[in-house]
A and B are shown apart, each in its own frame.
Chain A
Amino acid sequence: MNSHAKSVGLTRATASVFAKELRVEFRSFEILTSTIIFALIVVFVFSFAFNPSAADSRRFGAGFIWIALLFASALMLQPSFTRERTNDTIAALVLAPIDPFAIIAGKLFANFFFLVLVELVLLPAFSVLYNVPLLGIIGPLSGVMLLGTFGIATVGTVFAAISSQARMRELLLPLLLLPALVPLLIACTGATMGLLAESPELPISWLAVMACFDLVFFTAAWLFGGYLLEE
């Protein structure tokens, strides 16, 4: 054994995995390109299908945003672990002397970051297509989006790890992910709808639901993350 080799702390290991995820993605743009295009298509199709008035947009726009993000995330999260199986790099990660949660956490934060990038493209497009000005509510809206996105990334990363070992993995992830995210989706839509109203208001109760959801699932991922990676 190399006399200098040593176990690495959770933070450093997570940062290494996170940086590797970003480097791999920014070499290929495999996930980001498809996800951004998909999310844009969803809001674009909805705007033509419903041809919403300004009042309709304020009422239903929040749902359109989160549905687009939900489906886009299902598309984005799938390769998070399946591409680790191609060359069995997941084995090299599990074999490393690190807390297995660092692998989950590194990927979770990377997925969160990628979803935020998707939102940075999606929200301006939504604002233009649905004629809903967002600049006035950008602060609270960012808070809602970040809380909701963190929940999607947490649950999605955990379920992506589970489904990547299954035979019907492409089918399994949406089947697990979409029902599990229903409570979060209701809270996100409720909070965003409050912000899109003519007299914008931030519903604290929905924010509390989102924060609790994030906390519960992140803690569960921390406690059981190691088991998800075992054969």
Chain B
Amino acid sequence: MSASASTTAAESGLSISFANVEKRYGSHVALRRLSLTIAPGEFVALVGANGSGKTTLLRIAALLSRPTSGKITFANAVQNSAALTPAEIKLRIGMVGHFTMLYDELSAEENLRFFANLYGLNDPQRIAAEALAPAGLASRAKSLVRTFSRGMRQRLAIAHAMLAEPSILLLDEPAAGLDREGAAWLASTLSALRKIGATVIMSSHGQSEALTLATRAIAMRDGTLIEDSGPSGSKSNNDARAIIEREAAPIAGIWDSAQ
């Protein structure tokens, strides 16, 4: 993370507001009339079982999916969605999706260089090298992604999401496939992002070390928001932890009880 990011993330922070957002796929309702505002700098843990609507919510927030009804707006201190173009909003968003969002036929460096070009970053070669080093992939920069293990792909996906130093980071199960070292890197990176005022929305259906950084927790079930610890603050932090502990139950315990 460059020094410039420490000021720019907070300055370019956007609030995200969902107003009665609903998403249907045919007869299936993935998200039911969700209303929610996330302020700049919040670290939101989105918890709930598979199929609860977490991924749909993240994809709508990333402007990848258009709500069937309702509205999503982005605003900063001086501008709102009406004044911001979709490209200006997208410049501020980084995402780790359910899939890696990487080209298997390109090397790790080629993938990052390609996306650095699309984000208009100067010197994409240097940017790619700088992103690969902290992810522990510098030695595999020239290797094709198809030769990577699941964990290495996930690290590269996270490096890709951070490439343009986004002020909004949307993470869909980012710890999936990561080993202990990778999870520690993810947690320290997210901690650094939180300190510089970036907004993080992270989904998980199980316990993850990174969830302990959350300042707000939102629980979902069947496309409905069932519990929200409320906007970040010292009191709500305790509520957030309680929701996370309840909803994101450790999967290891389930295996123990099965024995």
Residues of A within 8 A of B (CB): 1-8, 12-13, 16, 20, 23-24, 27-28, 86-89, 91-99, 230-231
* Contact between B105 and A28, CB atoms less than 8 A apart: yes
Interface check B120, CB cutoff 8 A: yes
* Contact between A98 and B87, CB atoms less than 8 A apart: yes
Closest chain B residue, CB of each to CB of A24: B105
Interface check B66, CB cutoff 8 A: yes
Closest chain B residue, CB of each to CB of A1: B12
Note all chain A residues with C-beta closer than 8 A to B93. 95
* Contact between B164 and A20, CB atoms less than 8 A apart: no
Interface check B100, CB cutoff 8 A: yes
Residues of B within 8 A of A (CB): 2, 4-5, 8-9, 12, 59, 62-66, 85, 87-88, 90-93, 95, 97-106, 110, 114-115, 117-122, 144, 160, 163-167
* Contact between B118 and A96, CB atoms less than 8 A apart: yes
Note all chain A residues with C-beta closer than 8 A to B66. 230-231
Assess A231 versus B104: contact at CB under 8 Å? Given A1-B166, A97-B90, A97-B91. no
Assess A5 versus B120: contact at CB under 8 Å? Given A16-B114, A20-B114, A231-B59. yes
* Contact between B95 and A91, CB atoms less than 8 A apart: yes
* Contact between A96 and B105, CB atoms less than 8 A apart: no
* Contact between B91 and A95, CB atoms less than 8 A apart: no
Q: Say how far A178's CB is from chain B's closest CB, in angstroms.
A: 27
Neighbour of A8 across the interface among B5, B95, B102, B119, CB < 8 A: B119
* Cα A99 to Cα B2 with chains together (Å): 27
* Contact between B120 and A8, CB atoms less than 8 A apart: yes
Q: Closest 3 A-B residue pairs measured CB to CB?
A: A88-B99, A92-B101, A2-B165
Q: Say how far A4's CB is from chain B's closest CB, in angstroms.
A: 5
Assess A16 versus B118: contact at CB under 8 Å? Given A2-B5, A98-B87. yes
* Contact between A87 and B103, CB atoms less than 8 A apart: yes
* Contact between A13 and B9, CB atoms less than 8 A apart: no
